[in-house]
Amino acid sequence: MVKMGIIIDKDACTGCENCVSACNFGGVVMVDEVAQITENCNLCGACVKECPVGCIKIEKEDVETVKIDKSQYRGVWVIGEHVKGVIRGITYQLLGKGRELADALDVSLIAVVLGNEFQEELEELGYNGADEIILVKSPVLQEYNSELYVNITTELIGKHKPEIVLIGATPIGRDFAPRVSKRLDAGLTADCTGLEIEEGSRNLLQTRPTFGGNIMAIIKTPDSRPQMATVRANTFKPMSKRAIDVKLTKVDYDIDQGVLATKKVKTIKKERSHVNIEEASVIVSGGRGVGCEENFKLIEELANALNGEVGGSRMACDLNWIDPSCQVGQTGKTVAPQLYMACGISGAIQHKVGMQNSDFVIAINKNPDAPIFDACNVGVVGNLEKIIPALIKEIKSLKSEG
Amino acid sequence: MKIIVCIKQVPGITEVKIDPKTRTLIREGIPSILNPMDKNAVELALSFKDEHGAEVIALSMGPPQARDVLIEAMAMGADGGYLLTDKQFAGADTLATSYTLSCGIKKILDGASEYLVICGGQAIDGDTAQVGPELAEELGIPSITNVQKATLRDGKIITERALEDNEINVLETGLPALITVLRETNKPRFATLQGIQDAFEKKEVVSLALNDLQIDKSKIGLTGSRTQVWKVFVPEKKKESVILTGPVDEVVKKLGRILKEKGLI
């Protein structure tokens, strides 16, 4: 079938096949030495640029659109995240990257925080990169509230017009950022793993995994502002701290809880309490290769021996061997511990994108061809039922040696 | 009450492999499927229908072949399907997609004011999790994302969602509303033989093109997209690995030494 929106001038096509190799999606094929678009095409436009005779065009009807004066927008913002007054690591990671972007653009980096009482001094945000802090303070904001976050951040962004807004791709950030972007009619790119400023323009080049991490895409928001992006935990590193007098601006916001459409009925505490694996420095993860729930205890014992936390692949979570909050990967968490041990995890790309920023990776798998061996520093091919108990014993004896 | 379930046809990418020579996706034989979390959305809608009675409508935007996932939803039990398909819709980012879907929903509602929209938490090809909340914003209705459990009572929807590992918030909102659901929300039912037969014989997929909708052309497709894909590439393999082999006790000694050197013991 002919794909909508993209047209090939069949008479002009020279059959050079540049477009075929430019396409990562199998969206162009040669039929009788003439390029033809297949149903795999997702209109990314890669082929358009590669065609030496300009015979591929994306069909775009001219429609009146409102042009935005981009020069009105200046500055980089990070929307801080906290849990009941404890600033999350993602905030410092975003400030680290935000500092680089602000320096490249020669503008200020502003941290925006919605909250009430905080465990640490808010000046910490300044030591970690922010030039200025905007605090919207209210007892109501001690806990996250979807509607209030959308209303307040939209108003602040609309008033101050930053050119870039960075938000954590956490359950909280993913909840409010899309509504803010819609209300502002601003482009939003999810789960960015790379952010940089394009030379010669002030555009933010936003790299993100797509197709489960099989493909990376670089996204631009060329014609509108602000450019909004979310970033998963442990993607960027905080900068080294600096001494600075940071400007703190408090904003009063009139909060009328009566108009909120969604009410919190109650909070249920979960019995099982463990450290959030996003913050862990050692993680031992198990996958389907662990074999059974009984064997999964080995993973826990090894984690204990290393003073670490337990993680799991999607399969291990689906089999109820481990709580879904401990899932590492595309649909779970992104982790970057000092040590990540993958036991009986084959290493599908969806898992790799969740752990590839780890400092050191050890993989144990009985299949020598498992893709996890491409994503580890040290690999062990063998039976984990034998290796893990022996390793626990070895760790214990090394520990006692001191 | 109408329950509208937004669904997407995606490539079954867990089976995708990269050609090591050309470094491109091998797409041959990769089936197109109904996005997994959208199945949970259909299931939740059908369970509400079973309990309270409702008309469940599946809605999708995409090329003509996306009709297949609407038929699948109808075979599971949805009462009807709508496909928004027009070459002008193509190339849409999440802002343009959510706008287009909102126009489809307004058409389906035909003035009805009590309704519920259910979306899957995220799609396995794009993974943005943005279309749901953006659609709610466009419709001007409340949204609750990452819902693990939901019940309908007295015209309200009561949901459980976790923002933290050790805490679940119970949130309540009136209708109309939009919620997004996760894999753990429920176990999607299988289509029965009768269901499949009904989907083909008694139900229909209504195709709606640009001219069938009240729509602002500047807000759809590539034109309505604020974000643009500039470049795509296959990520490079990062790590050089050392593979340890040999008897268990030797391997374990080596691992112990490495862990000690790294200061991890």
pLDDT in tens, A88-140: 999 999 999 999 999 999 999 999 999 999 988 999 999 999 999 999 999 99
Q: Does A270 touch chain B (CB under 8 A)?
A: yes
User: What is the residue-averaged pLDDT of chain A?
Assistant: 91
Q: Do B242 and A146 touch (CB under 8 A)?
A: no
pLDDT band (50, 70, 90) for residue A2: very low
CA distance A109 to B240: 37
CA distance A67 to A65: 6
pLDDT in tens, A343-352: 999 999 899 9
Give me the pLDDT at residue B16, please.
62
Mean pLDDT along residues A344-367: 94
Report cis status (omega within 30 of 0) of the bond before A171.
Answer: no
Tell me which chain B residues have a C-beta less than 8 angstroms from the C-beta of A183.
137
CB-CB contact of A57 with A19 (8 Å): no
CA nearest B13 in A: which residue?
A211
Structure tokens at B113: 């004011």
- What kind and span of H or E run contains B244? strand B242-244
- N residues, chain A: 402
Give me the pLDDT at residue A214, please.
80
Alpha-carbon gap: B53 to the closest alpha carbon of chain A (Å) = 24
pLDDT in tens, A308-351: 999 999 999 999 999 889 999 988 999 999 999 999 999 998 99
Whether the per-residue pLDDT at B231 is higher than 90: the answer is: no
Q: Do A373 and B241 touch (CB under 8 A)?
A: yes
Q: Do B167 and A269 touch (CB under 8 A)?
A: yes
CB-CB contact of A15 with A30 (8 Å): yes
Q: Do B130 and A178 touch (CB under 8 A)?
A: yes
CA distance A37 to A325: 42
Give me the pLDDT at residue A215, please.
84
Of the partner residues B22, B90, B143, the one whose CB lies closest to the CB of residue A5 = B90
Structure tokens at B232: 């795509």
Question: Which amino acid is located at A222 in the chain?
Answer: P
Whether the per-residue pLDDT at A273 is higher than 70: the answer is: no
CB-CB contact of A214 with B16 (8 Å): yes
Residues 103-142 of chain A whose Cβ lies under 8 A from any Cβ of chain B: none
Name residue, tokens 């009904």. Answer: B198
Of the partner residues B165, B232, B243, the one whose CB lies closest to the CB of residue A46 = B232
CB-CB contact of A350 with A331 (8 Å): yes
CA distance B254 to A151: 56
Give me the pLDDT at residue B21, please.
65
CA distance A10 to A29: 13
pLDDT in tens, A188-211: 999 999 999 999 999 999 999 988
CB-CB contact of A203 with A195 (8 Å): no
Backbone angles phi, psi at B256, to 5 degrees: -60, -45
Mean pLDDT along residues A40-66: 75
Give me the pLDDT at residue A38, please.
81
pLDDT in tens, B135-177: 999 999 999 999 999 999 999 999 999 888 788 999 999 999 9
Q: Do B86 and A276 touch (CB under 8 A)?
A: no
Give me the pLDDT at residue A300, please.
95
Alpha-carbon gap: A99 to the closest alpha carbon of chain B (Å) = 23
Both ends of chain B: CA-CA distance in Å? 60
Q: Which conformational region is residue A84 in: left (phi greater than 0), alpha (psi within -120 to 50 degrees), or beta?
A: left
Characterize the bridge pairing of strands B143-153 and B115-120: unpaired
Name residue, tokens 């289509």. Answer: B191
Q: Do A182 and B170 touch (CB under 8 A)?
A: no
CA distance A123 to B194: 65
CB-CB contact of A177 with A188 (8 Å): yes
pLDDT in tens, B103-132: 999 999 999 999 999 999 999 988 899 999
Other CB atoms within 10 Å distance of the CB of residue A239: 17
Q: Does A330 touch chain B (CB under 8 A)?
A: yes
CA distance A350 to B199: 33
Backbone angles phi, psi at B77, to 5 degrees: 140, -5
For residue A325, the cross-strand partners are none
Report cis status (omega within 30 of 0) of the bond before A337.
Answer: no
Q: Do B265 and A261 touch (CB under 8 A)?
A: no
Task: Tell me the longest C-alpha to C-alpha distance in chain B.
Answer: 73
Whether the per-residue pLDDT at A391 is higher than 90: the answer is: yes
Task: Indicate the Cα dihedral angle A338, A344, A349, A352, nearest 10°.
Answer: 0
Structure tokens at B59: 């809605």
pLDDT band (50, 70, 90) for residue A3: very low
CB-CB contact of A85 with A117 (8 Å): yes
Q: At what angle do helices B248-261 and A384-401 cross, to 10 degrees?
A: 50
CA nearest B264 in A: which residue?
A306
Tell me which chain A residues have a C-beta less than 8 angstroms from the C-beta of B184.
324
Q: Which conformational region is residue A102 in: left (phi greater than 0), alpha (psi within -120 to 50 degrees), or beta?
A: alpha
Name residue, tokens 């499949």. Answer: B196
Whether the per-residue pLDDT at A42 is higher than 80: the answer is: no
What is the number of alpha carbons within 13 Å of residue A229 lying toward its C-beta?
A: 30
Name residue, tokens 């906290």. Answer: A82
Structure tokens at A307: 């003073």
Residue B179's nearest CA partner among B10, B38, B9 is B38
Alpha-carbon gap: A268 to the closest alpha carbon of chain B (Å) = 5
CA distance B68 to B31: 12
Residue B75's nearest CA partner among B29, B120, B43 is B43
User: What is the residue-averaged pLDDT of chain B?
Assistant: 92
CA distance A375 to A76: 34
Whether the per-residue pLDDT at B222 is higher than 50: the answer is: yes
Sheet holding B55-61, edge to edge: A262-269, B167-174, B156-164, B143-153, B177-181, B115-120, B2-6, B55-61, B80-84, B205-208
Mean pLDDT along residues A47-52: 84
Give me the pLDDT at residue B22, please.
62
Burial class of residue B166, CB neighbours in 10 A (0-12, 13-18, 19+)? middle
Give me the pLDDT at residue A255, please.
86
CB-CB contact of B198 with B81 (8 Å): no
pLDDT in tens, A219-264: 999 999 999 999 999 999 999 999 989 999 999 888 888 889 999 9
Q: Do B168 and A268 touch (CB under 8 A)?
A: yes
